[in-house]
Structure 1
Amino acid sequence: MIELEGLTKRFGEKVAVDELTFTVRPGIVTGFLGPNGAGKSTTMRMMLGLDHPTAGEVRIDGEHYDRLKDPLTAIGALLDAKAMHGGRSAYNHLLCLAQSNGIPAPRVDEVLDTVGLTAVAGKKAKGFSLGMGQRLGIAGALLGDPRILMFDEPVNGLDPEGIHWIRHLMKSLAAQGRTVFVSSHLMSEMALTADHLVVIGQGRLLADTSMADFIRENSRSYVRLRTPQRERLLDVLHANGVTVVETAGGVLEVDGHPSERLGELASEHRIVLHELSPQQASLEEAFMQLTAASVEYHAHTGPADGLSGGPVADPGPPRPGWGESWQPRDGKGV
């Protein structure tokens, strides 16, 4: 379990993380979402003791990270697939991690097999593709057979088979009772993987809820109906207190009433329905609805998508160093 309490990080006058309090629980996959610059990477670095909080604290199974005796057996993480010595082979990279954490050497072969890199175990990491680097990073996270796993953009560079594999790996780890915390910008993949969501914007907590509740609370759900007896259906619905929105193509939309009840009303009055379909927003639509006011960088389209010389983006005043992909370390830069 990961517990954050009042976690805050400032870089000079910039508040990157603002009093975050939430708990990542075992047995489920928890997704970590937020627009670019929301503070996700900084939050995950503080969880691992790579950045020190200005205020608040993080506990890993009740302990601060720097007090863990064998950290890789408690929490495994993939934050940057390129964080490895390119001159070492995949095997030797993992062996160094194993030896420094008291992990038996045979475990290296096990995780290489798990991530599908056995055939290239002797090759230097600098020759790996992005997807192979991701697999090696995941192998490092799994090396200590930890109770907690953290992944930042784990599907970057993976082919469809690899994406399918990591999705099921995370679900399998959660089903074993482990804590799985994953950050990703791929909403379609997150919708298939996560059971619970933590959403932040401008460093502040926006949501801490189940996937189903998040979508329901941040989007419109309605029932779509089509019928050749449109006027008759309208009369029946109005007589039963059902408010209807009439849209193009003769389609009717109804909010606040289950599709079962609407179908029963049509059947009772012998009205033929060509369509009766509940409509639910996607995770992406719900996310954009919730975070609209928290987006720091807005792109704009102009004539010919900005190719005519018009503006293509409005990043606001220059703020070097505050993107999600690069963060100064305790205000000292790199």
Structure 2
Amino acid sequence: MIELEGLTKRYGEKVAVNNLTFTVRPGVVTGFLGPNGAGKSTTMRMMLGLDNPTAGDVRIDGKHYAQLKDPLTYIGALLDAKAMHGGRSAFNHLLCLAQSNGIPRSRVHEVLDTVGLTAVARKKAKGFSLGMGQRLGIAGALLGDPEILMFDEPVNGLDPEGIHWIRNLMKSLAAQGRTVFVSSHLMSEMALTADHLVVIGQGRLLADTSMSDFIRENSRSYVRLRSPQRERLLDVVHEAGITVVEAGNGTLEVDGATSERLGELAAQHHLVLHELSPQQASLEEAFMQLTAESVEYHAHADHQGPPVADPAPPGPGGPGWGEGWQPRPKGE
């Protein structure tokens, strides 16, 4: 279990993470969502002791990361697939991690087989494709057989088979009672993988709820109806005190009534239905609705003329260099 209490991180005047409090529980896949610049990577780095919080606290199974003996046996993480020595083979990269955490050599062979890299185990990592690097990073996260796993954009660079594999892997790990925390910008993939969602925007917590509740609370749900007896159907629905909207092409949209009730009404009045379908927004639509006011970087498709870039941070020796500017953490 991962517990955050009032977690805050400032870089000069910039508040990257603002008083975050939530718990990542075992047994479910928890998705971590937010627009670019929301503070996701900074939060995950503080969980792993890579950045120190300005205020607040984060604990891994009740302890600070620095207090964990052989931390890879408690928590495994993939934050950056390129965070490895390119001159080492895949096997030696994992062997170094294993030896530093008291993990037996045999475990290296096991995780290489799990991620499908046994055939290239002796090849140097610098020659790996992005997808192969992702698999090696995942192998490193699994190496200590930890109860807690964190993944940042785990499907990046993977082919369809690899995406299907990592999705099922995360689900199976959660089914074993492990804590699985995954950050991704791919809403369609997150919708298929996560059971619970933590959403942040501009460093603040926006939602901490189940996937189904998140979509229901941040989008419109309705039932779509079509019938050759449209006018009679309208009368029946109105007589039942149900609000209906005409959506064009003979389609009706009904809020506040279930498809079961509408089907029963139609049957009672001997109405023919060509369509009776409950409609619910996608995770992407619900996410866009919730975070609309928290997006820091906006693109403008209707802009005329040459694109205008956001002001770049000052480079060494440039105007304003050394006047309090702080670089944004990588990935944010």
TM range (shorter): over 0.9
The answer as to whether partners of 2:27 and 2:175 remain within 8 angstroms in 1 is yes
Q: Secondary structure at the match of 1:298?
A: coil
Deviation at 1:323, TM superposition (A): 6.5
**Deviation readout 1:109-141 (Å, 9 max, x if unpaired):** 000000000000000000000000000000000
Counterparts of 2:242 and 2:103, CA distance in 1: 64
- With over 3 angstroms needed to count, the CA separation of the structure-2 counterparts of 1:255 and 1:312, relative to structure 1, is farther
- With over 3 angstroms needed to count, the CA separation of the structure-2 counterparts of 1:101 and 1:323, relative to structure 1, is closer
Counterparts of 2:199 and 2:312, CA distance in 1: 25
**Deviation readout 1:199-238 (Å, 9 max, x if unpaired):** 0000000000000000000000000000010100000010
Counterparts of 1:47 and 1:30, CA distance in 2: 15
Counterparts of 1:179 and 1:316, CA distance in 2: 40
**Deviation readout 1:27-78 (Å, 9 max, x if unpaired):** 0000000000000000000000000000001000000000001100000000
State the match for 2:160 in structure 1: 160
Deviation at 1:317, TM superposition (A): 8.0
Identity of aligned residues (%): 84
State the match for 1:132 in structure 2: 132
Counterparts of 2:80 and 2:283, CA distance in 1: 25
The answer as to whether partners of 2:68 and 2:74 remain within 8 angstroms in 1 is yes
Q: Secondary structure at the match of 1:247?
A: strand
State the match for 1:26 in structure 2: 26
State the match for 1:192 in structure 2: 192
State the match for 2:305 in structure 1: 309
The answer as to whether partners of 1:114 and 1:139 remain within 8 angstroms in 2 is yes
Gaps of 5+ in 2: 314-324
**Deviation readout 1:6-25 (Å, 9 max, x if unpaired):** 00000000000000000000
- With over 3 angstroms needed to count, the CA separation of the structure-2 counterparts of 1:323 and 1:265, relative to structure 1, is farther
**Deviation readout 1:77-109 (Å, 9 max, x if unpaired):** 000000000000000000000001110000000
Counterparts of 1:196 and 1:186, CA distance in 2: 15
State the match for 1:329 in structure 2: none
Counterparts of 1:323 and 1:277, CA distance in 2: 45
Q: Secondary structure at the match of 2:249?
A: helix
The answer as to whether partners of 1:36 and 1:323 remain within 8 angstroms in 2 is no
Counterparts of 2:312 and 2:294, CA distance in 1: 16
Whether 2:75 is the aligned partner of 1:75: answer yes
Counterparts of 2:14 and 2:56, CA distance in 1: 17
The answer as to whether partners of 2:42 and 2:329 remain within 8 angstroms in 1 is no
Counterparts of 1:118 and 1:32, CA distance in 2: 31
Whether 2:224 is the aligned partner of 1:224: answer yes
Q: 1:321 aligns with which of 314, 327, 331?
A: 327
**Deviation readout 1:179-199 (Å, 9 max, x if unpaired):** 000000000000000000000
**RMSD over aligned Cα atoms:** 1.4
Paired amino acid for 2:81: A
Deviation at 1:311, TM superposition (A): 3.9
Deviation at 1:322, TM superposition (A): 2.6
Matched ranges for 1:31-46 at <5 A: 31-46=31-46
Counterparts of 1:323 and 1:62, CA distance in 2: 26
Paired amino acid for 1:117: L
Gaps of 5+ in 1: 327-334
User: Aligned residue pairs: how many?
Assistant: 321
Q: Secondary structure at the match of 1:15?
A: strand
Matched ranges for 1:1-334 at <5 A: 1-302=1-302, 309-311=305-307, 315=310, 321-322=327-328, 325=331
Deviation at 1:3, TM superposition (A): 0.1
- With over 3 angstroms needed to count, the CA separation of the structure-2 counterparts of 1:121 and 1:325, relative to structure 1, is same
The answer as to whether partners of 1:299 and 1:312 remain within 8 angstroms in 2 is no
State the match for 1:330 in structure 2: none
| TM-score normalised per structure 1 | 0.94
Deviation at 1:321, TM superposition (A): 3.1
Q: Secondary structure at the match of 1:216?
A: helix
Paired amino acid for 1:244: V
**Deviation readout 1:131-179 (Å, 9 max, x if unpaired):** 0000000000000000100000000000000000000000000000000
Counterparts of 1:320 and 1:188, CA distance in 2: 34
Q: Secondary structure at the match of 2:94?
A: helix
Counterparts of 1:49 and 1:324, CA distance in 2: 15
Counterparts of 2:49 and 2:328, CA distance in 1: 19
| TM-score normalised per structure 2 | 0.94
**Deviation readout 1:229-262 (Å, 9 max, x if unpaired):** 0100000010110111001101000001000000
Paired amino acid for 1:32: F
